[in-house]
A and B are shown apart, each in its own frame.
Chain A
Amino acid sequence: MPGSPASGGDRPRVFIVDDHGLFRSGVRSELGDQVDVVGEAEDVAPAIARIAECLPDVVLLDVHLPGGGGQNVVTATKAAHPQVRFLALSASDAPEDVIAVIRAGARGYVTKTISGTELVDAVYRVAAGDAVFSPRLAGFVLDAFAALAPAVEGRQTFDPELDQLTPREREVLRLIARGYTYKEIARELYISGKTVESHVSSVLRKLQLSTRHQLTRWATERRLT
């Protein structure tokens, strides 16, 4: 895979963080021999230590862990080892938790209902530096930015570029939310697969860099309702 550190041959080296042993072994067998699973951990602190040891290409990270949110693993690792990439993986989560992990630096979010081949595909994508959006994450992001829009109008914005999605990005997100794969989106919108990826990456960048309070406020409001 181009762009992935070639420490374990061609296959990306994967680390699994999840508090359910059953799930970890399930993912392991689903990934099969298409990736190189180099380790697992079941909580925040051991995960941080083990990841620093074996420096995987991709960490499959559960959003909820007993010792705190998955975003703590991301923030702790990011500073020292920026080359380690994170893919959030969870059963069903509140949007604010998912957005928090993404904003901490994860390159994508998929739900546990994902099929084996799709998961492998997502791992390769993240290893190559692309963003992976599941339908649910796309929905969260559309929701978050739609909630921002009215607030943006009245007040002064620091960086309007970062605070809203372009129509094209919104279109791509909508198709992801409708269950389209990148390839199908490219065909639907008459653009190349690379362009789809760049749109998604740009959304991810906006999500991570936007410093607006509204994004956090949106998340907390969601928690209250």
Chain B
Amino acid sequence: MKERTGFVPGAADGQGGPQGSSPHDGDVRPQQGWPRRRGRWHYRPGRWARGPRIDGPLRRRRDDRLVAGVAAGLAARTGIDVTVIRIGFVVASLLSLFGVAAYVVAWLLLPAEGADGNIGGRALTDRRGIALAAGLGSLLCVLFFIASTVGAGWLGSLAWPLVVSVAGITLIWRNAPADEQAVLHRLVGPVLGLAEGGRRSRSPLRIAAAVLLLVVGLGLLLAGRTPPALLQPVAGVVLVMAAIVVGLGPWWLRIARDLVMERQARARAEERADMAARVHDSVLQTLALIQRRADQPQQVIQLARAQERELRSWLFDGPPPGSVAGQAMTLAAGVRLIQQEVEAQHEIAVEAVTVGDCELDDDLSALLAAAREATVNAAKWSGAPVVSLFAEVEPAEVVLFVRDRGRGFDPETVPGDRKGLAESIHARITRRGGSATVRSAPGEGTEVSLVMPRGAGRRQPSRPARA
């Protein structure tokens, strides 16, 4: 155990101080060459650097992560305060980009908490991903080579960490689970947006910059009264660059196209998941209801008609079923709508309470759709006469609770094909950066807590009509 804390060597031993949880520290420490750390005046500075420590293998934490949970995992494993480790990473990144590279490698190699393998393992089977990473890496290598021949040798110190980081991030991007991709998207999105937005708004700006650079460069070259002999190496560099572009250009183009196709495929997959969730919310739910009321033909007809209307309006014009957007403009109105609909379709009273209110955006609509699903679940399965729905709008987030005092269940034993909980509620919320937890036990009722950060939805709307 002690040996494995060596991931951050200096920090682990230097600032950890005596650990309350491991009684052997006193014996080990003097041999590590810092006997004075135990002195009184060092004891206090050590204290703030300590956090709670968890034994067990090193894992990336899901609950306390800024990017991928590497720092939090290290903190939990070594007992050093997570802030200290984060500062360490940032400082290492500022010095030489080494911190970024180390972080990316750790992201690839450390399994996430609760997952059964690391991303690197999955990436090994992803041939296109490896080709992509290799392509981007080689492109960077060539760029650095050119940079060093033109004399910008200082760039060379950044080369390796950058190559490693870019290749690593490419692999992570292709192989990470959805929630981590969302994190990546949030981090890298602005950079990509800069490059892509050029097509429309920034393109005059870019052309202007290119012309300016060209003019200044040519001006410097020609006005400097340089003897033509000195221009020779420059010409050589230009020729080498041209050769590289001609030789490797098509390959890079293909990689770029792959990247675009990759993004489109991802958007399609997301759309499909959303569609599945919606069909589940509407059609499958109604079918289940019809089965349960098979002895009441009047109600069955009524349900079928309502469902038909809803499905038609979704297919041919209006808002999708199960979504409250389009009908409700604010969160409180959306909650009221859920209350009315569920009370009308199921024999249950919905006690809806909202505190505060705000405009609906895509994220909050997803939150409401998940809440509706949770309420319908309670109506169908709990057996309770009342389900409570509570939403509170806070400055930074919206929290929503759906609670019943019905028969409850054991969340561990829900079969995988029962999509309601997993897909409609959990995935729908986490896809958009929120969180969903279910608290239930047989006989004790169920409470679903949903949290959605506000204003996190500045990412591009994920379902534009371009497909």
Contact = CB atoms under 8 A, between A and B. Distances in A.
Contacts of A115: 385-386
Contacts, number: 47
Given A115-B385, A142-B392, A179 B405 contact: yes
Given A115-B385, A146-B355, A139 B349 contact: no
A103 interface: no
A111 B343 CA distance: 15
Given A113-B386, A177-B390, A178-B403, A138 B353 contact: yes
Interface in B386-432: 386-388, 390, 392, 401, 403-405
17 contacts: A111-B351, A134-B351, A135-B351, A135-B388, A135-B390, A139-B353, A142-B355, A174-B390, A177-B353, A177-B355, A178-B388, A178-B401, A179-B386, A179-B388, A179-B401, A179-B404, A179-B405
Contacts of A85: none
Interface in A130-179: 134-136, 138-139, 142-143, 146, 174, 177-179
A113 B135 CA distance: 65
A179 B351 contact: yes
A179 B378 CA distance: 13
A143 B349 contact: no
Interface residues of A, number: 16
B447 interface: yes
Nearest to B400: A178
A133 to B, nearest CB: 11
Per DSSP, are chain B's interface residues mostly helix, strand or loop, or mixed? strand
How many B residues are at the interface, by size bracket? 10 to 19
A182 to B, nearest CB: 14
Interface of B: 349, 351, 353-356, 385-388, 390, 392, 401, 403-405, 447
Given A142-B392, A174-B390, 9 more contacts: A113-B351, A135-B390, A136-B351, A139-B353, A142-B355, A177-B355, A177-B388, A178-B403, A179-B390
4 smallest beta-carbon distances between A and B, as pairs: A179-B388, A139-B353, A113-B349, A179-B403
Nearest to A173: B355
Contacts of B385: 115
A136 B353 contact: yes
A85 B351 CA distance: 25
A20 B392 CA distance: 34
A110 B222 CA distance: 88
A180 B349 CA distance: 16
B353 to A, nearest CB: 3
Contacts of B390: 135, 139, 174, 177-179
Contacts of A177: 353, 355, 388, 390, 392
Nearest to B401: A178
A179 B385 CA distance: 13
Contacts of B349: 113
Nearest to B387: A179
Contacts of B392: 142, 174, 177
